[in-house]
Amino acid sequence: MPDYQAPLRDLRFVMDEMLDYPAHYARLPGGEEASPDVVAAILEEGARFAREVLLPLNQSGDREGCLLEGGEVKAPKGFKEAYAQYVEGGWPSLAADPAHGGQGLPPSLAMVLNEMVCATNLAWGMYPGLSHGAADALRHHGTEEQQATYLTRLVEGTWTGTMCLTEPHCGTDLGLIKTRAVPNDEGSYAVTGTKIFISAGEHDLAENIVHLVLAKLPDAPEGSRGISLFVVPKFLPDAEGNPGERNGVVCGSLEHKMGIHGNATCVMNFDAAKGYLVGAPNKGLACMFTMMNAARIGVGIQGLGLTEASFQNALAYARDRLQMRALGGPKSPEKAADPIIVHPDVRRMLLTQKAFAEGGRMLVLYTAQMIDSVEHGTDADEKARAETLLGLLTPIVKAFLTEVGFEATNEGVQVFGGHGFIQEWGMEQLVRDARITRLYEGTTGIQALDLLGRKVLMSQGESLKVFTREIHKFCQAEEGNGELAEFVRPLAKLNQEWGEMTMAIGMKAMSDREEVGAASVDYLMYSGYVTLAYLFARAAKQARMALSEGTFDAAFYRAKLDTARFFYQRLLPRTRAHKAALEAGAESLMAIGAEDFGLGFEI
């Protein structure tokens, strides 16, 4: 069975040294509750729960899957008991508002816990994970009555939530949805339609499930302007707020999937189910984006967690597996062969995973600070800046970390060789589980269009400038630091190029809108590598400072510098290929006719 140790030392480095979380928390209202001692206790207990409770259920849950009988779904053995421990431990309420029964700690702390959950049991983590998004949507857009009825239960974890968007005929283009909501006499709505790919749509972990459903009113405008949001519970709350009468919503079937077998991915049928309008009529998409943005960050963390899990197990195997001798001569002459970690190509695969895990962690924790500031900040200017940065970084977190997460898990299998292809080692499950992260909550292509089209070009580049100015100031401040020249000089050039390249794409798009779609994915990946380069440069600066001060943990900081150097020398050059591809434009993509794709074989 795969093993996992939460990377607490690296977390402390990023949080305490690099990003100065103690000072960050001190600036937040109530942030004094997140004292270093409290944070340390949360991280240690979260690590224990993930390793001792969730990890042992990961492979068994994958093999067993979920069972559907008479519209009721049973999660794999042990999942329900693990969820009960999760609720008893107060984990669902960690970052929720005390007004709704939460503990009021910063959202960033919950995000750190989420990495550990995703690294040990991604399928299980999706059951409580979606509840946070549902709670956010109700907190921002629900009525007082809806919050009193549903939000408190979601916060305490006794009820879970879903988001019901996709239908059989439409995924990304939500303007095509057919689910209808007809007003009832008493103020509720009869919701009728079918939703597919609904994660945790039906299960036995919690006593009730709160569905947030997109549907159209009878007089709704066409397209996405006519979408409304409704809260539709599995069981209608009775007068005391407890689960009462069964509502007209049932799981019609479970999807047979490539991965995340332990999570119930459902086809949900709504048959005049009683629902209640959330927010204003025809404004459902704006309400749902509150939930979707939180979910997109969460999916990026899934990519990070799987990367870390793959790296840890590949590293352990590479230290133990004996194969051949090192090219430069025996490293372990007392053994029949050398451990494969001595071979350069194995090191390439391990370092790729290590760099993406450590870089991804820095990106998530940097983004988490923006979320803290947006949710709890009191300085208007700082809050506005954080909101701009969060908008820019969300598609990068989601798409880049899942793309490289899939690459990392593939490299993990490769380190194991033929054993990586065998189920019992657990590495092939990481690949299968990682594959969905590039798809749900908006594919990489959709995230790329969001980044380049909506966030950058529609703002005339202003959102990007907020970030590139920060990078520029860092490079300027460290310009004379010879010890950081290997990081600062290439970073400064890329940062300038990023802005120039963006302007060039915008100019081309003025005469041909297809240029945006043609450039978008390469643009996103380029942006991801430059973002990680900035964070690795900051990490290198911190490591240099610690070493110059004679730290007792010199090996850790030397390894941090070595990892940053590997990223700059072996991974950052990928920006060259992405730049060349996006500059090639749309012509070669659009030249061939749709009817000519299949020439050479008959369809």
Give catalytic residues, as residue numbers.
441
Place of tokens 């989601």: 398
Backbone angles phi, psi at 592, to 5 degrees: -75, 135
| Nearest alpha carbon to residue 471 among 434, 498, 436 | 498
Backbone angles phi, psi at 544, to 5 degrees: -60, -45
| Nearest alpha carbon to residue 318 among 401, 405, 434, 411 | 411
Tell me the three-class secondary structure of 397-433, residue by residue.
HHHHHHHHHHHHHHHHHHHHHHHHHCHHHCHHHHHHH
Contact between 106 and 34 (Cβ < 8 Å): yes
Contact between 532 and 362 (Cβ < 8 Å): yes
**In whole angstroms, what is the distance from residue 474 CA to residue 565 CA?**
18
**In whole angstroms, what is the distance from residue 247 CA to residue 315 CA?**
50
Contacts with 48 (C-beta within 8 Å, 6 or more apart), sequence order? none
Backbone angles phi, psi at 511, to 5 degrees: -105, -15
Work out the number of other CB atoms within 10 angstroms of the CB of residue 60.
14
Q: Measured in whole angstroms, how far is the alpha carbon of residue 329 from the centre of its chain?
A: 43
| Nearest alpha carbon to residue 240 among 312, 153, 327 | 153
Helix (H, G, I), strand (E, B) or coil at 31: helix
Q: How many helices (H) and strands (E) does the chain have?
A: 20, 11
DSSP 8-state symbol, 369? H
**Helix, strand, coil fractions of the chain, as percent rounded to 5:** 65, 10, 25
Tokens of 270: 């709504």
User: What is the enclosing helix (H) or strand (E) of 346?
Assistant: helix 344-376
Contacts with 5 (C-beta within 8 Å, 6 or more apart), sequence order? 47, 51, 312
Contacts with 349 (C-beta within 8 Å, 6 or more apart), sequence order? 314, 411, 412, 414, 415
What per-residue string of b and e applies to 162-200 under the rule 16 or more CB within 10 Å gives b?
bbbbbbeeebeebeebebbbeeeeeebbbbbbbbbbbbb
Contacts with 142 (C-beta within 8 Å, 6 or more apart), sequence order? 150, 151, 231, 278, 279
What per-residue string of b and e applies to 531-556 under the rule 16 or more CB within 10 Å gives b?
bbbbbbbbbbbbbbebbeeeeeeeee
Q: Where are the alpha helices (DSSP H) in 65-222?
A: 79-88, 107-120, 122-141, 144-146, 152-156
